[in-house]
Amino acid sequence: MLSTRMIYTKQSNDLKMKNNIALCLFTSTKGHFDIKTRYQETVKSLNRQVPIEDFGFAIAHIKVSEGEDEIGNEMQSFLESYGFTVIKTNAEWKHHNVSHQRQYLNDMFTVFSNPRVLECESALFLEDDMLLKPREYELSYYMYRAGAILKTQPDIISVRIPRFENEKYRIGHLREKHQINSCVIESEFPDLYFYGNDFSNNPHFCRPRDIRNALILMNKNAGAFMIHSEMGLGPSLKYFSDPDKCIAVFNPSQIVSRHIGTIIGEEELIERDYFYE
């Protein structure tokens, strides 16, 4: 059997060509804590690691709030300069409100119904204020491994890039802390990833059609699922899987994500120079 490092070496040349992953970026003109440019930091950081043009298809959805059309146009111009196909939706919403969650689900359905997205084998689901920090290997390696997991394990609906260093402990103790029916199961490659059942929209890889089908299921069963991008979508996705072993989570020693949609000075950063051009 090839070692992990040998597999990476074998695949590295192929990964420099256009991959079959859809990059799906979700952003808005509201920004975060009055900072309107976090999406630029996210895009620049990702592009530095894996050029946007290397993705099979790159699409960005901009939610445009009332009176912010000019900001939306500026965002569109920036994103198109990196090769994104841009969709803009006008909607009024508030953070931490059902209007936000409802609009977000609508945005997801729009993106994951795009024919070019559905043509791709997998998708990188990325919100506009999350940075990716690979540790042992380059990001392209973890993209390859995520794609392999989704291709060979039909019960896996998501391969997540963890945000917390104690991700395994956190998921394993959600039951006692929040009464969430959580579990952790070791994988065949415990140093690389483990299995769990706690869905999150932190950066993750998924099959585009799985997301679309789950959203259709939610729409056809109004009231059966919460109107929430995670607490509703997660249970809906689990209908297509083994609910106790449906998510693969990369080991934080391998790769993590970091949240920057915060007040200035409170960003979660590691090696700041690594993230910025």
Per-residue pLDDT of the chain (277 residues; tens, 9 = 90+): 333 333 343 344 444 557 899 999 999 999 888 899 999 999 999 999 999 999 999 999 999 999 999 999 999 999 999 999 999 998 775 655 556 678 889 999 999 999 999 999 999 999 999 999 999 899 999 999 999 999 999 999 999 999 888 787 676 655 554 445 667 888 999 999 999 888 889 999 999 999 999 999 988 887 777 777 778 888 889 888 887 788 999 999 999 999 998 888 888 876 544 444 3
Give the C-alpha distances (Å, rounded to integers) separating 174 from 170, 179, 182. Answer: 6, 6, 6
The H or E element spanning position 22 is strand 21-28
Domain boundaries defined on the chain: 20-275
Q: How far apart are CA 277 and CA 138, in angstroms?
A: 17
Q: Are the CB atoms for 127 and 26 separated by under 8 Å?
A: yes
Sign of the CA dihedral with 208 first, then 213, 218, and 224 last: negative
For domain 20-275, which architecture applies? Alpha-Beta Complex (3.90)
What SS3 class is residue 217? helix
Looking at residue 74, what is its pLDDT? 97
* b/e burial code for range 229-243 (CB count within 10 A of at least 16 → b): beebbbbbbbebbee
First and final C-alpha spacing in the chain: 39
pTM surpassing 0.85? yes
Looking at residue 273, what is its pLDDT? 42
Q: How far is CA 223 from the centre of its chain?
A: 26
